């Protein structure tokens, strides 16, 4: 089959053919630029659309990640030149004989705490989702200080949220160009996980995105989560660079002069522990100086309560043990290793540490989660439950409970309890030989697909894992995306069964706005009820599918009382 060539508004691109996990052919167009390289005067600024090019652009190889550390191996990677790129995967092109009508489009926004991650296939392969006849787009956006530098001086035009504005520009690119890939610009679903989920929520709330998407899926994140809020940070990055200057104009000029690698290393010197009490050094902000290009001008909760958000159907949910992520954070952040219950109090309460009120709330947390005992390794599941609730679930719960009062469109709520070989994060974190396992995974990444990697993955699966109950944060993505670290999906296995269910739910929603439009579907065989104003129905996605209501209701009431929701 000849390499496909597509004509976009900006110029021509040449892609390649691939095969999904069932052996069916699809088309890949990789590393397609949607914005000018954010270098020189464009560093830290809002993105600018890519300029047209002459000739045929090679889109057969993935573009670079944005400057950051690798999400798994922590080595530095990426570059600014063409980091604002996207990958497009489509089962058919418009000139195919069997292309049919335009297909639903799903735009993926990766996670990584607004600090790491990329759109690359090693983690986000299309081989599962593409089987359901949708067009998939996976985007890059700027991370850390590059995407979330926030300066107070409005004349410098660095108000924050550049990374979120990258996403808006990518969605505008989709509107202009996706027809050329057989995708329907009138049926676009945005979806993301963790920071990507919080980003989807913020896109859903932003006035800048009207008409750019028609449905949204928020996985394990919310604009109301404590880790989804940043701050003014020019003085902080200057301090970590030992640049003794308080004038933001001079700081900006200095930051623009530095190599990307130095900024990546510097931003990691600022402590960023997994605590609810602390605002993130780099993340989304409410922009203080309002202009026509401002992404976020009000607190998310105020937008939610007012109903001034994009009125589109929504799926939102969480995994049963999001808090297992704490184990990964402890490996990277020394500050996170000591559990101080006063630090688990949300920062919005402005609680002075050591004060009588702060100690009283900490004591109530100790009573609720640890039966008035000191947290210990033997009680580690109670720690995971606490971190699940205050770092993830309560923000998601508040979002759903508030949005349903003002939303005119259905909200579908879920909880994932899946536990198979595909639970990559959980099986990694609780490996009894972590460094050996990571060495094997590193070699798999180096060799790519093939017999050698298959042998290495078989060895990895034989390494023992300490069993813990529940689904870890980010484990859900491995039921939607093929990954080089999970290897081949075995036919008729439990893993394939669960992949088919998740993919069907997500793509049904992208196609129709209803994840279970056919009650007699043999794969799903259930009706997923949306929440009502009276009750938070949710779909429990585990070994079987089950509709229930009001997840962790007593624990959510506990946090509602603390936060006076």
Domain CATH for 490? 3.40.50.1820
Tell me which residue has tokens 């052996």. Answer: 23
Nearest alpha-carbon partner for 282 in 291, 294, 269, 292? 269
> Which residues are within 8 A (CB) of 350 and not within 5 positions of it... i.e. 6 or more apart?
none
Query: What separation in angstroms does the CA of 369 have from each of 27, 274, 565?
Result: 50, 18, 20
DSSP state of 490: P
Q: Are residues 247 and 331 in the same domain?
A: no
CA dist 36 and 14 (Å) reads 19
In a domain, 344, yes or no: no
Q: Are residues 138 and 17 in the same domain?
A: yes
In a domain, 364, yes or no: no
Helices in 371-490 by DSSP H: which ranges? 380-388, 394-406, 424-429, 434-447, 451-461
Q: Are residues 211 and 305 in the same domain?
A: yes
**CB 164, CB 295: distance < 8 Å:** yes
**CB 543, CB 423: distance < 8 Å:** no
Q: Are residues 259 and 399 in the same domain?
A: no
Nearest alpha-carbon partner for 345 in 305, 390, 281, 407? 390
Q: Is 283 exposed, middle or buried (0-12, 13-18, 19+ CB in 10 A)?
A: buried
> Which residues are within 8 A (CB) of 20 and not within 5 positions of it... i.e. 6 or more apart?
26, 126, 127, 128, 130, 131
Q: What is the residue range of 502's domain? A: 322-337+377-563
Structure tokens at 19: 């095969």
Query: What separation in angstroms does the CA of 193 have from each of 274, 295, 348?
Result: 17, 20, 23
Q: Are residues 306 and 422 in the same domain?
A: no
* CA atoms 381, 387, 390, 393: torsion sign: negative
Distance of CA 512 to the CA centre of its chain: 23
Q: Phi and psi for 82 in degrees, rounded to 5?
A: 60, 25
Q: Phi and psi for 559 in degrees, rounded to 5?
A: -75, -30
Structure tokens at 53: 């090019």
**CB 381, CB 469: distance < 8 Å:** yes
Q: Are residues 48 and 119 in the same domain?
A: yes
Looking at residue 97, its pLDDT comes to 64
The kind and range of the H/E element at 109 are strand 103-109
In a domain, 455, yes or no: yes
User: Helices 325-332 & 380-388, crossing angle to 10 degrees?
Assistant: 100
**Total domains, the chain:** 2
b/e burial code for range 318-342 (CB count within 10 A of at least 16 → b): bbbbbbbbbbbbbeeeeebeebebb
Structure tokens at 243: 């640049």
DSSP state of 392: I
Query: What separation in angstroms does the CA of 322 have from each of 268, 384, 415?
Result: 23, 7, 11
In a domain, 281, yes or no: yes
Structure tokens at 473: 């944060």
Q: Which long-range contacts link 35-41 to residues 24+ away (Cβ below 8 Å)?
A: 35/84, 35/166, 35/169, 35/170, 36/84, 37/80, 37/81, 37/82, 37/83, 37/84, 38/80, 38/83, 38/84, 38/142, 38/146, 38/162, 39/80, 39/81, 40/256, 41/256
Q: Are residues 416 and 455 in the same domain?
A: yes
**Pairing label, strands 411-416, 537-541:** parallel
Q: Are residues 408 and 534 in the same domain?
A: yes
Looking at residue 99, its pLDDT comes to 64
In a domain, 290, yes or no: yes
Q: In tens digits, what is the pLDDT along the chain, a chain of 565 residues?
A: 578 999 999 999 999 999 999 999 999 999 999 999 999 999 999 999 999 999 999 999 999 999 999 888 888 888 888 999 999 999 999 876 666 799 999 999 999 999 999 999 999 999 999 999 999 999 999 999 999 999 999 999 999 999 999 999 999 999 999 999 999 999 999 999 999 999 999 999 999 999 999 999 999 999 999 999 999 999 999 999 999 999 999 999 999 999 999 999 999 888 887 889 989 999 999 999 889 899 999 999 999 999 999 999 999 999 999 999 998 888 877 766 778 899 999 999 998 889 999 999 999 999 999 999 988 777 899 999 999 999 999 999 999 999 999 999 999 999 999 999 999 999 999 999 999 999 999 999 988 888 898 999 999 989 999 999 999 999 999 999 999 998 889 999 999 999 999 999 999 999 999 999 998 888 999 999 999 999 999 999 999 999 999 999 999 999 999 998 4
In a domain, 353, yes or no: no
Helices in 307-393 by DSSP H: which ranges? 325-332, 356-370, 380-388
The kind and range of the H/E element at 9 are none
Q: Are residues 286 and 175 in the same domain?
A: yes
In a domain, 407, yes or no: yes
User: Which residues are registered as beta bridge partners of 384?
Assistant: none
Q: Are residues 236 and 330 in the same domain?
A: no
Looking at residue 147, its pLDDT comes to 98
Looking at residue 3, its pLDDT comes to 87
SS3 assignment, position 388: helix
In a domain, 551, yes or no: yes
DSSP state of 473: T
Q: Are residues 220 and 330 in the same domain?
A: no
Looking at residue 1, its pLDDT comes to 59
pLDDT in tens, 236-281: 999 999 999 999 999 999 999 999 999 999 998 888 878 899 899 9
Q: Which long-range contacts link 443-446 to residues 24+ away (Cβ below 8 Å)?
A: 444/484, 444/485, 445/73, 445/122, 445/484, 445/485
> Which residues are within 8 A (CB) of 374 and not within 5 positions of it... i.e. 6 or more apart?
none
Nearest alpha-carbon partner for 511 in 177, 193, 134? 134
Q: Are residues 430 and 449 in the same domain?
A: yes
The kind and range of the H/E element at 108 are strand 103-109
């Amino acid at each position: 089959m000849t390499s496909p060539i597509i004509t976009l508004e900006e110029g021509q691109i040449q892609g390649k053919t691939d095969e999904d996990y069932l052996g069916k052919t699809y088309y890949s167009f990789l590393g397609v630029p949607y914005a000018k390289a954010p270098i020189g005067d464009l560093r830290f600024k809002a993105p600018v659309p890519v300029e047209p090019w002459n000739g045929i652009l090679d889109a057969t190889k993935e573009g670079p990640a944005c400057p950051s550390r690798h999400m798994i191996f922590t080595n530095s990677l990426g570059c600014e030149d063409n980091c604002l790129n996207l990958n497009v995967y489509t089962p058919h092109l418009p000139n195919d004989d069997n292309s049919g009508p335009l297909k639903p489009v799903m735009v993926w926004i990766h996670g990584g705490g607004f600090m790491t991650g990329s759109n690359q296939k090693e983690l986000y392969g299309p081989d599962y989702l593409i089987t359901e006849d949708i067009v998939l787009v996976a985007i890059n956006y700027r991370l850390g200080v590059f995407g979330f530098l926030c300066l107070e001086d409005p004349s410098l035009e660095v108000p924050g949220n550049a990374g979120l504005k990258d996403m808006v520009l990518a969605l505008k690119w989709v509107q202009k160009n996706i027809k050329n890939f057989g995708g329907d610009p009138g049926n676009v679903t945005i979806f993301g996980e963790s920071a990507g989920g919080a980003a989807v929520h913020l896109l859903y709330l932003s006035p800048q995105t009207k008409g750019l998407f028609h449905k949204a899926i928020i996985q394990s994140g919310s604009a109301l989560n404590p880790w989804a809020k940043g701050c003014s940070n020019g003085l902080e990055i200057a301090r970590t660079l030992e640049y003794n200057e308080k004038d933001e104009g001079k700081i900006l000029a200095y930051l623009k002069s530095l190599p990307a690698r130095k900024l990546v290393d510097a931003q990691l010197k600022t402590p960023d522990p997994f605590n609810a009490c602390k605002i993130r050094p780099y993340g989304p902000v409410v922009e203080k100086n309002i202009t026509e290009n401002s992404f976020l001008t009000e607190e998310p909760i105020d937008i939610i309560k007012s109903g001034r958000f994009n009125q589109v159907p929504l799926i939102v949910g969480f995994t049963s043990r999001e808090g297992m992520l704490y184990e990964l954070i402890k490996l990277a952040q020394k500050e996170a290793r000591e559990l101080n219950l006063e630090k688990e109090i949300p920062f919005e309460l402005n609680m002075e540490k050591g004060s009588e009120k702060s100690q009283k709330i900490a004591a109530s947390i100790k009573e609720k989660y640890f039966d008035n005992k000191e947290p210990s390794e033997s009680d580690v599941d109670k720690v995971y439950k606490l971190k699940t609730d205050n770092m993830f679930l309560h923000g998601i719960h508040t979002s759903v409970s508030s949005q349903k009062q003002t939303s005119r469109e259905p909200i579908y709520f879920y909880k994932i309890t899946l536990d198979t070989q595909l639970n990559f994060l959980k099986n990694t974190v609780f490996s009894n030989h972590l460094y050996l396992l990571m060495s094997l995974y590193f070699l798999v990444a180096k060799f790519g697909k093939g017999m050698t990697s298959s042998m290495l993955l078989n060895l990895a699966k034989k390494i023992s894992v300490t069993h813990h109950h529940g689904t870890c944060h980010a484990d859900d993505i491995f039921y939607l995306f093929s990954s080089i670290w999970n290897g081949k999906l075995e036919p008729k296995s439990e893993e394939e069964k669960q992949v088919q269910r998740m993919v069907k739910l997500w793509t049904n929603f992208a196609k129709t706005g209803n994840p279970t439009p056919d009650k007699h579907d043999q794969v799903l065989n259930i009706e997923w009820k949306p929440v009502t104003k009276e009750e938070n129905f949710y779909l429990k996605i585990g070994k079987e599918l089950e509709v229930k209501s009001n997840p962790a209701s007593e624990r959510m009431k506990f946090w509602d009382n603390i936060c006076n929701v």
